């Protein structure tokens, strides 16, 4: 996702906060896996919020996930079509490869190296680094996501965003079938 306006704010942030990892609420819904969460068509709304400035960028997204292969060696491809409230549109595609029980690696056009995915206790933890281009240059950001189901069947993706290891922003994306 290209976040030109917010990234300008991120580039100016002082390194004053501590990194943190989001946690699933104690009243989470049914357990989810990467395949159960992203196979088929889903859509959702979300926002990206810079903590220091309070700037927020809202978006909607349509996702389409397909899985190939047999259990233990599956490949899950998730195409994400984003539409931002400022009119910008973006398409990104995740390709996740199953590496073992509850373990995946993933890659997207903007990731640096591979993402790590752990399915455990009914939630998904996703960790990755991505480069985002802005008029001022490239911003390398880290993402620590946790995805969990709600009792109504929707899925929440909460993320803490870091720059140089310091927490600077958050993302919340609520996905529905």
**Residue 23, pLDDT score:** 72
Strand 166-176, strand 89-100: pairing:
unpaired
User: φ and ψ at 127, to 5 degrees?
Assistant: -125, 130
* Domain residue extents for the chain: 4-176
> CA 157, CA 155: separation in Å to the nearest integer?
7
pTM of the model: 0.86
Q: What is the pLDDT of residue 133?
A: 80
Give the dihedral sign, CA 118/124/129/130: positive
Q: Which of 21, 82, 45 is nearest to 156 (CA)?
A: 45
- Ramachandran angles phi, psi of 71, nearest 5°: -55, 135
Q: Which CATH number fits domain 4-176: 3.90.1150.200, 3.40.50.300, 3.10.50.40, 2.40.128.20?
A: 2.40.128.20
Task: Characterize the bridge pairing of strands 115-120 and 103-107.
Answer: antiparallel
Low-confidence ranges of the chain (pLDDT < 50): 1-19
pLDDT of residue 18: 43
Q: What is the pLDDT of residues 65-77, one digit of tens each?
A: 999 999 999 999 9
């Amino acid at each position: 996702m290209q976040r030109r306006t917010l990234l300008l704010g991120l580039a100016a942030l002082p390194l004053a906060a501590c990194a943190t990892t989001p946690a699933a609420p104690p009243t989470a819904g049914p357990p989810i896996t990467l395949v159960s969460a992203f196979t088929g068509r889903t859509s959702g709304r979300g926002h990206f919020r810079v903590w220091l400035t309070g700037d927020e960028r809202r978006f909607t997204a349509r996702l389409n996930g397909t899985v190939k292969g047999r259990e233990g060696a599956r490949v899950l491809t998730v195409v994400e079509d984003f539409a931002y409230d400022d009119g910008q549109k973006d398409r990104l595609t995740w390709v996740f490869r199953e590496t073992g029980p509850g373990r995946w690696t993933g890659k997207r056009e903007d990731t640096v190296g591979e993402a790590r995915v752990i399915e455990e206790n009914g939630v998904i933890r996703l960790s990755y680094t991505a480069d985002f281009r802005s008029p001022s240059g490239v911003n390398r950001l880290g993402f620590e996501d946790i995805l969990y189901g709600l009792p109504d069947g929707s899925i929440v993706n909460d993320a803490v965003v870091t720059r140089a290891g310091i927490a600077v922003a958050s993302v919340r994306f609520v996905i529905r079938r």
